[in-house]
Structure 1
Amino acid sequence: MSPEMQIVVIALATGLTIGAFVWIARQQLIARWEQDCAWLAHAIWRFSPEPFDPKPYVAGYYIGAFLLLLFLLALVPSKIVGLVIWVVLILLPRMIIDRRWEKRRALIDEQLPATVLQMSSSVASGMSLVQALERLSERAPEPIRTEFRVITNHWRMGSDLSATIEEAKRRLRLQNFTLFSSAILINQRMGGNITQTLERLAHALESVERMRREVYSSTSEGRTNIKVLVVAPFIMLGIVAVMDLKAVMLLFQRPLGWILLGIAAVFTAVGTLWAWRIVNADV
């Protein structure tokens, strides 16, 4: 059999194998597809509740992940190391999105006390509640301005104000924003002095934010130690590689080395998570 014919046979066998696998696992693959689409739609909804079709992006992600796997298997000498790198890289987009969302939530939580006080001043000057929200959607800093812009835009399109505020509360899942939204919703249903309520709420939120900053400042040394804990194994591995590269390569080429690397990774992860939970006390 000629080399060209061998390539054709191998390609056909590979294609048939992949096709058979897809057909056998089609139910699981469809469920995974729907799960990933739902997760991406929910992730984007947290940033903006505007309509979004996640299917093209999930399909592109699948294609990119498959091509990345082929590239790593062809490039990395150790197939197991290549698979580990592939798993880390395909999980990276989700980690980045979650990290960006947490940073956005933290910034909104930090901006909320001043925003509530500004809203209280607007209402005290004679504006209605909706007018005060519209003013915040124009003058408040980002990213909290986007949240108020979404609320006011939905209200202009005919949505109920209480429903849009409830949606923002579900999307953000911030304790301070829940207090703020509850104050507005109670005022909408039962009436009362909304100006005084917002002023008291703003001062309470400022006290909580001040306490949170004090805790953050007190635990700054601990966070620095965590970063050192994460980086130190890689630095030590690099130093040893400079002195004896062959010995380091055995860790990536032998099963015993893979086991040692796995144990080191587990201990580092457990220590990091444990220390992180200690220095990130909830206020």
Structure 2
Amino acid sequence: MPVLSPDLVPVLAAVLAAICVGGVVISLLYARVGGRSEADKRLAAIAIWDGPVGRAVGSEEGSRKRSIETTLRNLEEQQKAKRGVKPSLGIRMRQAGLGWTKKTYFIACVIAAVMSFGVALALFGVSSLPAIGFGAAGGLLLPHLYVNRKRNARFKAFTAEFANAVDVIVRGVKAGLPLVDCLKMIASEAKEPVRSEFKIILDDQTLGVPIDQAVQRLAERIPVAEANFFAIVISLQSRSGGNLSEALGNLSKVLRERKKMAGKIKAMSSEATASAGIIGSLPVVVTCLLYLSAPDYISLLFTTFIGKTVLAAAAVWMGFGILMMRKMINFDF
């Protein structure tokens, strides 16, 4: 049996490693490296086929389908272009329903920084330099977290009420009312924040903005899936025609099914949420109990440099663990 030279072993190992890495890269990026898949080629062949059935579809119904496909493609491209853009501070405050200006936000940042600095000095007894760090962190994080919380709460309130607003539009359209009159009913009788958002749609329409563009602005102000679906339905109906009441009725069913799914997910993940809360609170509870039962034993963590370092490292790793558990029990659908 031939024996490999010791000089060839590293070369062969490098070649095998390169082949393995190349195989993994090609398997992950096959759709881009190998061009279109067989399914895409078959769909393209069917799309350009000009047989008897293909010519039959080229009637009025076929042109309407092509118009719908074009509209959907344009809307998808617009959404992709806007999806990667993060909202500015002013947009986030408007989405949160806060009447703040940027000056007000910066004043809140200064107040939060001063309060964090005072709390660090008074309660934790740290020196001036760490207290300045606490103050800077509080000034940057606390107003940001407050705006995010108000923003998410407003989105949830809009989602909970939006299905009822769509039902009002469906009943009004079936009764023969124009779409604008249905929007006026929602703008005067619905709950907040749906009422104020539809009032903005009517104001834009009064100023001459087409109704489909005014509804698309709703999806920009409230970037949730429900508002996006509504904007797509109105845009398709205004550009391609069709039965608006049927389309909105289907949308209402979809919104209510999404609401049911959200309730099921919340119920199924409640046990994991409770477990995460218990696990996250255990270190704090155990520390408090040890401080009450054996203060001399646990006080080393607060009085010595090594103890403070251990506390800081434990807090960082505990934060990572809490964020990981939160990521595991949050479902996006």
Partner of 1:123: 173
Whether the 8 Å CA contact 1:229–1:268 is kept in 2: the answer is no
User: Does residue 159 in structure 1 map to residue 206 in structure 2?
Assistant: no
Q: CA deviation at 1:174?
A: 1.1
User: Does residue 61 in structure 1 map to residue 108 in structure 2?
Assistant: yes
Q: Which amino acid is 2:96 matched to?
A: F
| CA spacing shift, 1:211–1:237, aligned 2, 3 Å | same
Q: Give the 5 Å matches for 1:71-150.
A: 71-72=118-119, 74-75=121-122, 76-79=124-127, 82-83=131-132, 85-86=134-135, 89-90=138-139, 91-150=141-200
Whether the 8 Å CA contact 1:226–1:275 is kept in 2: the answer is yes
Partner of 1:7: none
| CA spacing shift, 1:255–1:212, aligned 2, 3 Å | same
Q: Secondary structure at the match of 2:101?
A: coil
Partner of 2:266: 216
RMSD over aligned Cα atoms: 2.6
What TM-score does the superposition give when structure 1 sets the normalisation length? 0.76
Over 6 Å off, 4+ runs: none
Q: Secondary structure at the match of 2:142?
A: helix
Whether the 8 Å CA contact 2:300–2:307 is kept in 1: the answer is yes
Q: CA deviation at 1:281?
A: 1.6
Identical-pair percentage: 20
Partner of 1:26: none
User: Does residue 263 in structure 1 map to residue 310 in structure 2?
Assistant: no
Out of 268, 271, 279, the residue aligned to residue 229 of structure 1 is 279
Whether the 8 Å CA contact 2:116–2:134 is kept in 1: the answer is no
In the TM superposition, what whole-angstrom CA distance separates every residue of 1:127-176 from its partner, at most 9, and x where no partner exists? 11111111111122222222212211232244343332222212222112
Out of 92, 96, 117, the residue aligned to residue 43 of structure 1 is 92
C-alpha distance in 1 between matches for 2:246 and 2:239: 17
In the TM superposition, what whole-angstrom CA distance separates every residue of 1:213-249 from its partner, at most 9, and x where no partner exists? 1111111111112222332222222111112334444
Higher relative contact order (CA 8 A, sep 6+): 1
Q: Which amino acid is 2:114 matched to?
A: L
Which structure 1 residue ranges, 5 or more long, are not aligned? Answer: 1-37
Whether the 8 Å CA contact 2:167–2:252 is kept in 1: the answer is yes
Q: Which has the larger radius of gyration?
A: 2
Q: Secondary structure at the match of 1:110?
A: helix
Relative to its length, the structure with more helix (as a share) is 1
Out of 221, 232, 240, the residue aligned to residue 190 of structure 1 is 240
Q: Which amino acid is 1:261 matched to?
A: L
Q: Which amino acid is 1:187 matched to?
A: Q
In the TM superposition, what whole-angstrom CA distance separates every residue of 1:29-71 from its partner, at most 9, and x where no partner exists? xxxxxxxxx9531222213598x6322x144235424533653
What TM-score does the superposition give when structure 2 sets the normalisation length? 0.65
C-alpha distance in 2 between matches for 1:89 and 1:138: 40
Q: CA deviation at 1:184?
A: 0.6
